Chains A and B, each alone.
Chain A
Amino acid sequence: MTTFRQQLKGRFATLGLIVLVMLGGLLLRLWSMEVLSGASFAAQAEDNRIREVSIDAPRGRVLDAKGRPLVTNRPVMVVTLAPSILTREDSATVITRLSALIDVPVPDILKRLSSDKQERLKPRILRADVPMTTVSYLVEHAPEFPDVAVDAAAVREYPFGGLAAHVLGYAGEISEGQLQDENLADSRIGDIVGKAGIEAQYDKVLLGEKGYRRLEVDSKGRIRRVVAQGEPRAGKDIVLTIDADVQSVAEKALADALDEAHRQGYTKARAGAVVVLDIKTGAVVAMASAPSYDPTIFLGGIKDADWKRLTDKASEYPLNNRAVMAAYPPASTFKAVTGMAGLQDKVTSAGASYFCPGKWEGMGKQWAKWCWNHAGHGSISFTNGIIQSCDTVFYEIGQKFYERKKEELQSFARSIGLGSDTGIDLPGEVSGRVPDAAWKKLYNRNYPEYQQWLPGDTVNMAIGQGDLLLTPLQLASVYAAFGNGGKVMKPHVLQSVLGPDGKPTVEVSPVVAHDPKLLAGNLATLRRALVGATTSGTGRGAFSGFKIAVAGKTGTAQVKGKDDYAWFACYAPADAPRYAVSVVIEQGGHGGSVAGPAARQVLATLFSQPWHPVHTTDVSR
C-alpha cells in the first residue's frame, strides 16, 4: 500500500503543481484586470451606454378547418412615450398636452412611466387604436412632443366576431402568477399571453420570439442611435378542427333552443352547450357554450367593470366553456350506456322483456319508484325500453347490476372514458363523476349514516341520475364511439401547426383513448333502439320528416331546486355514421322538445338538409 503511494509521489506533485499554476494564472489575470486596470474598466462601465429593449412579436393566427381566420392580428397605431421624457425640463408641459390630445389622464401616464416592473427604457404604450387625426397631428408636431412616438402594433382581431369564443379563449396581460413561472422566464410585465381556450393551450406555439433593439444612449439616458436590431419572429399560425359554418349553426341552434325553452315556459333557461364531433377522428367540428362573451373586451386590458360582470354569479359565468367545464347528470341519454353495459355483461339482451306497471316496487314497497310514464308501459322489450325511454326497464337492469355486486356498470362507464378527462387540448376540462361504493364512502366521510352504497344508488345511476355527472363533450364522445364501432377517440381541436410557408409542420393524428371492445351485435342492437327513439320514440317529434336516419336519445335531467335540464345525444347518419352531437340546455325542460330540435338544426347543416323551426312536445324523461 505504501509502495504504490511512493511510486505515485511524483505524479501527485505534478497534479498539485498544475492546480497552483492554473489558479495562480487566474489570480494574476484578475489582479491585472481588477486592480491594475480597474479604473479603466470602471470608466467603461460608467460609460456603458448600450441599452436593450425588446420588440414584441405578433402572435400567430388561428384558422378554422377550412383555413378561414378565426383570430388574426389587426395593425393599430399606438402612442408611446419613452421614460426618458422625465429627464427633460419641459416634461410636465409635454405630458399635459399629450394627455389632452390622446385622452389619457396625466396620473395614468405618470404611473406607466414610473412602473419599475417594465424594462427601464422600453417606451410605454399610452393608448392603442388612436384616431388618424391624432396620429397626423402628432406626426406634424413631432418636435413639440419629444420622446413621443407613434408606432404600429398588433392587436387581436376576430373576423367572425364572438364565434367560438370559448374554444378560442383570449389573450391578455401576463399575471403575477404567470411571471413567477419559470417556463415563462423570458416574459415581462406587460407581455400578452394566452389566458383561456386555445390562446392559453397553445400559447407557446402562438407566442413567437421577441426581437430586440440595442440602443446607444447618452449620459442622461436619451436614445442616440440604434446599434443593433434583431427582428421579432411572429408566432406560428394554427389550424383548428372547428368548421366556422357548423360552429355558427351550433351557436344559433343553442340560442334558438334557449328561446324555445322560454316559449315553453322554462323561463330560467339561460345556459347550455353543443358539441359536434367527427366520430372517426375525435376532431371537434363545433363546440358552443352559452352564455358567451365578446372577446374584444379583452383587447388592451379588460376594464374592471367588465371583468366583474363576467365573473359574477348572476351572469351564469359566460367565460366558462360548459362543453368541457360543466358536468351534469346525463339522465336518459345515459340509458344507451346502461343498455350497452347490460348487453356486454349479459345482464339483458335484445329480446329481453320487462313489465312496466308505472310504479316500480322492485326494491320493496317502501322504496317504490315511478317510471316517467305513471300509467306504465306494460309489457315492454329492452329495445322498446330505450325507444320509449322506459325507466322501469333500466331500474330492473340497474338492480341486476347491484345484485351482482361487481360494480360492472361503473367499470363499463369508465371503460368508455367516463369519470376521467377526455384529454381534449383545452384548459380547464373537468372529469365528471362515476359514483361507486368507494367514492360514496369517501364523499360522505363525515356522515357515517350515508356511506353505504345502496340498491337505489345503482338504480338511479342506471337512468343517468343520482351522483353520476358527465360533460357534454364526454357524452358526445361516447355516442361517437357507439357510432364508429366502439372506439372512444381522444377529442381534439388542434388540426395542425403551420410553418412560415403556410404548410403544416405538425399534424394531429387520431388517437384511440379507450377501446371497450364492444361486440358488433350489441352495437347493432343499440343502433336499432336509438334509431327507433328518433322515429317512433321520445325523439320522434324533434325529427319528424328528417331525411337522415339519426341514432339518438333524449334526456330530461332532474336537478334539485332547478327546472329540468334538457339533453339530446346522437350520431348520424345511423347507417354510415360521421358525426356525433350532444346538446344540453340548463333548466330548458324536456330533451325531446328543446334539445332534440337543436341537434336536428346542427345535423341539417352538416348534411345539407332543409331546416325550419321545430315546435314539439315531450313529457318523457
Chain B
Amino acid sequence: MSTSGVKTVTDRLHFGLLLAAVALAAFGTLMVWSATAGMLAHDAMFKRHLIGLALGLLPLVGLGMSDYQKWKNWAGPLMIALALLIVSPRIPGLGASAKGATSWLEVAGQRLFQPSEPAKLLFIVVMAAMIAEFSGRIDQSRDVLRVAGYIALPVVLILVQPDLGTGLVFVAIAMGMLLVGGLAPRYFAIAAVVGIVAIGLLLALPGPLEAYQKDRLLVFVDPSRDPKGAGYNLAQSKIAIGSGGVTGKGLGAGSQSNLNFIPERHTDFIFSVLGEQLGFVGAVILIGLFLALLAAALSISTSSRDLFGALIAAGLLAMWLFQIVENIGMTVGMMPITGIPLPFMSYGSSAMVTNLAGVGMLLSVWSRRYGT
C-alpha cells in the first residue's frame, strides 16, 4: 500500500453500504419473524435465521479485510471450485434436491447449504478476472466468443441441474459486468436475440422443462394458466400485496399471509407478506433501502482503483438488482415465477451468508481504492 493509501478506519469503511446492509438485514429479520409466526417450527426457523446472520459476518469481515487484487491470482482454482459447486448436488451422496429445483449439498443426511448461492460470488470473481484482461474493450468477435464460452459453461451446467432461476442470475451478472467491461453495444443486441430464441426453444420443445416449470414461467403472462397451481399462488400473492393498501394491515396481521394462502411465504414470497402487512409505505421503504445498497455498489464500482474491482462491484450490483426485480416482480405478476430469494429478506441462511459476503467483497474494493 502506498503512502497516499488508506489513513483511517473511517476512510476504509463505506458507511452508506454498511447502513443499507444493516437496515436491510434488520428489516429482513422482522419480516422472517412475521412470516414464520404461524408456523410450528417458528422458533427453530427464527433461530436458524439469526445463526445465518451471525455466520455471514465471518465472510463479511474476512473478505472485507482481504485484498481483492489477490483474488485474481486464484481465478483458475476458483473456476474449478465453481464448477464443482454447481455440479455438487448431482454427486451421489452429496446432493439433495428439495421441491424440484432447489439443490442442496448434503453430507450424511445433514443439509449444509445451497451451493448455487456461493457459486454466484465465485462466478463474479472468475468473470471479473477474465473480463479485466480485455482492458475495458471487447469488440473483436474472437474475444466475444471467448467471453461467451466462459459464461456459457457455468450457465449450462446450472441449467441442467435444473435450476433455471440461478441460471438467469448468472446471465444477469454477466450482462452487468460486460456492460462495465466494455462489450460493444451491438453484441448486447445479439445476446438479447439469442436469449429470446433460447427461451422460445425452452418453452416450445417438450424435453428441457417439466410442465409445471412452464406453468410457473408463463403464468404471469396468462393468469388463467394452471389456476389451481402456480396461477393460484400468483393470484393469492397479488391479492395479498394489493389488499395491503397504502399503510398495510399491520405487522403480523395479514389475513392472506396468516391463512396460508401464500406458499413459501417466508422464502420466495416474503415480499407478499411485506406488501400485505406494511403496504405501499413498507414497499417504498424496502425499495429505498435496496436503492441505497445498489447506489453504494455503483459508487464503489466507479471509485475502484482498477477495472477488476469495478467489475466485481458491478457484478454484485447486477446480481442484487436482478434478484430484487425478479423476486418482487414475480409476486406482483410482472415476472415469471422462479425460485429466486429476495436479497437480505428471504428466509435461508445460504443466501444470507452469500449476500453478507458480497458486502464484504465491496468493502475490500472500496478500502483499496487509493494508490496506483
Contacts and interface: CB of A to CB of B under 8 A. Distances in A.
Interface string A13-42: 011101100110111011101110111111
Contacts of A446: none
Interface in B244-274: 244-246, 255-256, 259-261
B340 interface: no
A41 B40 contact: no
Contacts of B328: 26, 30
Given A12-B301, A182-B45, A42 B294 contact: no
A498 B290 CA distance: 51
A24 to B, nearest CB: 9
Interface stretch (A44-52, A147-155, A383-391): A44-52
Interface residues of A, number: 48
Given A26-B287, A35-B280, A182-B41, A12 B180 contact: yes
Given A15-B179, A23-B324, A45-B239, A34 B334 contact: no
Contacts of B45: 182
A22 B318 CA distance: 12
Nearest to A229: B228
B255 A34 contact: no
A569 B234 CA distance: 65
Nearest to B229: A228
A180 B301 CA distance: 44
Interface in B173-195: 176, 179-180, 182
B230 to A, nearest CB: 13
B329 interface: yes
Interface string B198-220: 00000000000000000000000
A181 interface: yes
B302 A5 contact: yes
A33 B314 contact: no
Contact of A35 (B44, B245, B290, B294): B245
B43 A30 contact: no
B121 to A, nearest CB: 19
B325 interface: yes
Nearest to A188: B40
B291 A19 contact: yes
Contacts of B275: 30, 34
Contacts of B238: 33, 41
B72 to A, nearest CB: 16
Interface in B29-81: 39-41, 43-45, 48
Contact of A8 (B136, B246, B255, B321): B136
A19 B321 contact: yes
B111 to A, nearest CB: 9
A16 B182 CA distance: 16
A50 B317 CA distance: 40
Contacts of B260: 52
B3 interface: no
Interface of A is mostly: helix
A48 B332 contact: no
B275 to A, nearest CB: 7
A45 B279 CA distance: 14
A38 B41 contact: no
B271 to A, nearest CB: 10
Contacts of A52: 260
A11 B178 CA distance: 10
Contacts of A22: 321, 324-325
B172 to A, nearest CB: 11
B305 A30 contact: no
A14 B179 contact: yes
B305 to A, nearest CB: 6
Interface size class of B (residues with CB under 8 A): 35 or more
B302 A34 contact: no
Contacts of B276: 45
B243 interface: yes
A273 B215 CA distance: 57
Given A45-B239, A45-B240, A45-B255, A38 B298 contact: no
A179 B243 contact: no
A120 B180 CA distance: 54
Nearest to A7: B136
A228 B228 contact: yes
Contacts of B295: 16, 19
Given A4-B136, A18-B321, A23 B41 contact: no
Contacts of A179: 40-41
A189 B334 CA distance: 37
A34 B245 contact: yes
Most buried by A among B40, B41, B332: B40
Interface string B302-335: 1101110010001001000100110011001010
Contacts of B241: 30, 33-34, 41
B242 interface: yes
B317 A19 contact: yes
B372 interface: yes
B50 to A, nearest CB: 15
A124 to B, nearest CB: 18
A474 B71 CA distance: 54
A214 interface: yes
Given A15-B298, A41-B242, A180 B41 contact: yes
B110 to A, nearest CB: 10
29 contacts: A1-B306, A5-B302, A14-B179, A15-B301, A15-B317, A16-B295, A16-B298, A19-B291, A19-B321, A22-B321, A26-B324, A26-B332, A31-B280, A33-B332, A34-B283, A35-B246, A38-B243, A38-B246, A38-B280, A41-B242, A42-B245, A45-B242, A48-B256, A52-B260, A182-B44, A185-B40, A185-B41, A214-B228, A228-B228
Given A26-B325, A30-B280, A34-B244, 9 more contacts: A8-B182, A22-B321, A26-B329, A30-B283, A34-B241, A37-B242, A41-B241, A48-B236, A48-B239
Interface of A: 1, 4-5, 7-8, 11-12, 14-16, 18-19, 22-23, 25-27, 29-31, 33-35, 37-42, 44-46, 48, 50-52, 120, 179-182, 185, 187-189, 214, 227-228
Chain A to chain B: the 6 pairs with minimum beta-carbon distance, closest first: A41-B242, A38-B245, A45-B243, A34-B280, A42-B243, A41-B243
